[in-house]
Chains A and B, each alone.
Chain A
Amino acid sequence: MPTEHIVQQGEYLAKIAAQYGFSSYRTIWDHANNAELKRKRKNPNILYPGDKLFIPDRQPREESASTDTRHDYRLKSETLKLRLLVKGSDDEPIANTPCVLIVENRRYEKTTNAAGNVEEIIRRGAHVASLTIRDVEIPLRIGDLDPVEEISGQQARLNNLGYDAGPVDGSDEAKRRSAVEEFQCDHKLKVDGDCGSKTQAKLVEVHGC
């Protein structure tokens, strides 16, 4: 039976797809019943608690093949990655620098590339991670980033960008507002403390998602 899945905090489509036994998130994401959500959220791995996903039935797949030879069947599955861009307080990328990425207790010794990027393939459903670079350990929560249309999503991006917008629970409105205004000022947007669609778009652009 098809079901409806209500997204919880920390869930992202890759995780949900794995949970329901789909090898590809596309089976869910591209389903006609999810078209509206797809339009609204754009990014399948940035959903908001309360979002409703239609989960179709799994379809058995048939493959015809001759019976007299061996066939290898491999499950195709997209590669889920965690991709980061690390910058210093001077806004310059921290390039070619060794760092340690820990995802769910797995430790990856990495080096940022010339543009300050570091990435790793992760398990669908991974949540807790950390990046240690220049002796600073940065705790990461994969899948907790909310859509930019939501205040929590705006605050999280501002925090990631070093604007200290306060905790994402909305308990510090003054901090949130000052961070929005600073961001707007730095990016030559109208400074009004109101994180409207233009500011949101800029946030996504600068943050990277």
Chain B
Amino acid sequence: MSDDCESLIDSASEGGLGAEHPPFLSHPVLVAPTYAEDYNTIRAAIVPIACWRLDDLRFEFASSFVRPEAAGELRHLARLVKVHPGAPLTIFGHADPVGNDQFNKVLSGRRATAVYAMLTRKTALWEELYSKPHGQDDWKKNKVVPFIRQDLGLPPEAGDGNSGSRAQLFQAYMDKYCRDQQGGSFRLGPADFLGRGAGAGGKGDYHGCSEFNPVLMFSRAEHQAFSQASDKAERDAANAPNRRVVVFLFRPGSKINVAKWPCPPATKGMDLCRKRFWSDADERRKFQPLRREFAATRDTFACRFYERIAGRSPCEAGVERSLPTLYVPEEPNSYNWVPLHSLWVYLVHFRGTEIEILQRLKLREGKLCDDQDRLVPVHCNRHAWFYFSHRDDLLTLDRARWFARDRSGLPLVGPFCVPCGPQARINIDIWQQNDWAIVRASRVDGARADKVMMAEWREDYGTGRLLPMQGGGIGFYPHGSYTEKQRQERWKGGTTLIPLIQFGSPGDRPMWVGTLSALPSPKAKLLLVHGVLYPGTYNELAPTGRNQEFPGHHLYDRFLVSRLLALGADDQAPAAIDALPDPPARCLVPGDMCWQTQGETPNCGPYSFSTAMNYWMPYTNNPAQRDGAWYAGRIDAMAIPAGARTPAHLADAAVRFHMNGRDNDAEEINRARALKVLKLWLQAGVPALILVKEEYGITSYHWKTVVGYDGNRFFMNNSGADNELIRARRTPGIEYERAPIGNDVDSETAFYDKWKAGGGDIVDLITSVDECTFIPLFPNDSMFGGGAAV
């Protein structure tokens, strides 16, 4: 077993193992409605949640006497019991496949009995083991009592005393070694076991499985060689893994009907065992040409019932790796599962609440790959949490905070049990994730009116943003890709504007799933964009109405912000700016930028403000209604003059909304440095309002929101984004038509000319930014510290 299996393995020692079971995948209960008297039975399954194994080494040789060294393993069991309150236990003893079934039934049962007695301090059961020897398991002959006396520091005595004195010795020995991690007494009662002590001979509580369920079966050749050898020590040593006692903990509250429990009492009732054998049990129990280990071949247990309990248990099957394929339903309630791709996968394994492994992986047709497209094996039979994103930079987040098992950071999906085997698949019903925003819609370009398979989009997939489309609805636009360039060219050529890769409206088939942003609260339901864009689909996706509070998943680099603030608002020292790192290209989470339109109002300032506020607190606005008016109205109520606001007005408004708006008046520094500072703000995860001077026939100042940049170009949301550009009439009598998105100029001609003049590539277009006045809008102290807006 490799070292990195340890997080499922709670404790591994030379004498045993304690481990959590992989999560039980409960299937939705499929039911039929009725006009008659039919009904659907729903019965709770018996589900093991943890296991503990005590190996042969912890017993006296060929005996059921538990050695003092078992104390360490018992402490681990105490811990498992403690972390699973109310989880009933049951014990199975196993012998190796040497000798006859009946003899081994008793032997395995005696070891299970010894462990049960130790846990419950039932000294009478030890007395029974003492007084009724079984083959070599003879406590008297093996001098167990003198051993205990010596171990407890008592003076030697002739003879083993009477049953009363032995009971005292046994009790003291049990008390000495059956302790919890803090050294306190670890003692269970009959009611802590599955049969609750109600069954005769411990039925339901402790059992002997004879040699029916070995974890290792020798090959025929090994078996023959061992049989011919005169010294059996080697065989017995090789068989040691088979001689074990395994305890299972079941889901809290699990109950059984002892009378119907299939397993007979510990030391008898082999017929009942055989009843539960697999129909091919004889074959399973034979020595076959090849050596078989349960973890690999899964065909060494004769008892089907035991395999159903123990088959996925790390105590019996170990932990393997596999290459699972991730599938999602094509649409809500769809039965058509398609491989997930085109997204970054963040795969997390936890050890307790700590992150043990955090990997960023690619998806290729549902398979997990590294950056070089090599398949990445994953631990199977253990819990995996996933986060899917179109962003590749989430590893830069404060990991412990954002990749938290309690999902207080990112809304991780999980836990999923990663199945084993080459056909392993993980079905992720992403539509049932209450806290995920999901975009689905069909492609509506003229060339393909029908639908695009998910695979077709992969090539173009970069980042993108969600924007309104000309024809209504919302489209998901990848940007920085060639498609946008093509689009620009089409405009220039005067051809009919065809949205290229657009997803959205009037959808018959969903096309893409992914995150837009974490959903913060029940208020966020309108953030879900769904098919033909209509609000209120949240309930459809989350039928049970469950929800959780999430702060969102913006990348917000407070450290960088503090460095930028240290520059001062004006008279920023060039040397200090130069000392800052050059920002790489980035864009804020595009989906978080929601569409606001100022319509025919002069309120570009408040609406730009609203756009930025939507980034931080997406649930304060309803993107479907585009009611940036909410902010506009409140800013108006602050008695700030209507129309284009001064930077001071907007900075002041930020304070009133429990945010910071910092007026960076950068006129004193040179242009390159000013732009660097602006980029750094974006790098820190902060959108900025920027004042743009526009000169196309008229001269006006206009607020926009900068949300990102690539090598050459800033991405802006106008206060009205696409919509405004298409329809806005900010200045009476002047209507702008079809200006491109993502530049700072409202006239397509001007844009295109500059673009061409720059050599046909996209150039830095921040030429008309007025003295680089911009206002980064960021939260007060901690992320979303603003809470609900005023």
Contacts and interface: CB of A to CB of B under 8 A. Distances in A.
Interface of A: 9-10, 12, 14, 25, 43-46, 78-92, 102, 104-105, 117, 119, 122, 126-131, 134, 136-146, 156, 159-164, 167-169, 171-172, 174, 178-179, 181-182, 185-186, 191-193, 206-209
Contact of A161 (B37, B41, B298): B41
B226 interface: no
Interface string B31-74: 11111011111111111000000000000000000000000000
A91 B260 contact: yes
B543 A161 contact: no
Contacts of A12: 32-33
A45 B333 contact: no
Nearest to A181: B304
A203 to B, nearest CB: 10
B35 A78 contact: yes
B30 interface: yes
B141 interface: no
Nearest to A25: B35
Given A90-B257, A91-B260, A84 B40 contact: yes
Given A9-B335, A84-B39, A143-B33, A185 B260 contact: no
A21 B24 CA distance: 42
Among B27, B43, B279, B298, residue most surrounded by chain A Cβ atoms (within 10 Å): B43
Contacts of A79: 35
Contacts of A128: 333, 543
B336 to A, nearest CB: 9
A108 to B, nearest CB: 13
Given A88-B44, A89-B45, A130-B544, A192 B279 contact: yes
A87 B44 contact: yes
Nearest to B35: A78
A183 B257 CA distance: 16
B568 interface: no
B485 interface: no
A102 B307 CA distance: 36
Pairs A-B, 4 closest by C-beta atoms:
A209-B38, A162-B45, A208-B39, A83-B39
Contact of B40 (A105, A126, A137, A160): A160
A70 to B, nearest CB: 31
Could you say which interface size class chain B belongs to? 35 or more
B29 A43 contact: no
Contacts of B305: 182
Interface of B: 24-35, 37-47, 253-257, 260, 262, 275-276, 278-279, 298, 304-305, 307-308, 333, 335, 337, 419, 423, 425, 427, 432, 539, 543-545
Contact of B255 (A9, A44, A89, A156): A89
A84 B34 contact: no
A87 B42 contact: yes
A141 B29 CA distance: 6
A44 B27 CA distance: 24
Contacts of B255: 88-90, 92
A174 B308 CA distance: 10
B29 A85 contact: no
Contacts of B307: 178
A156 B335 CA distance: 15
A46 B39 CA distance: 12
B43 A160 contact: yes
A85 B40 contact: yes
Given A162-B44, A185-B276, A141 B32 contact: no
Given A102-B545, A171-B425, A142 B31 contact: yes
A90 to B, nearest CB: 4
A14 B279 CA distance: 41
Nearest to B425: A171
A140 B28 contact: yes
A156 B45 contact: no
Given A91-B43, A102-B545, A128-B333, A82 B33 contact: yes
Nearest to B278: A181
A27 to B, nearest CB: 13
A52 to B, nearest CB: 19
Contacts of B43: 86-89, 91, 160-162
A209 B45 contact: no
A43 B32 CA distance: 9
A178 B304 contact: yes
Contacts of A171: 423, 425
B334 to A, nearest CB: 9
B45 A185 contact: no
A117 B42 CA distance: 10
Given A128-B333, A139-B544, A191-B279, 11 more contacts: A43-B38, A82-B33, A84-B40, A87-B41, A119-B39, A130-B544, A137-B544, A140-B31, A143-B33, A144-B31, A182-B305
B30 A85 contact: no
A182 B257 contact: no
Nearest to A104: B543
Contacts of B423: 171
A191 B257 CA distance: 22
B42 A131 contact: yes
B499 to A, nearest CB: 32
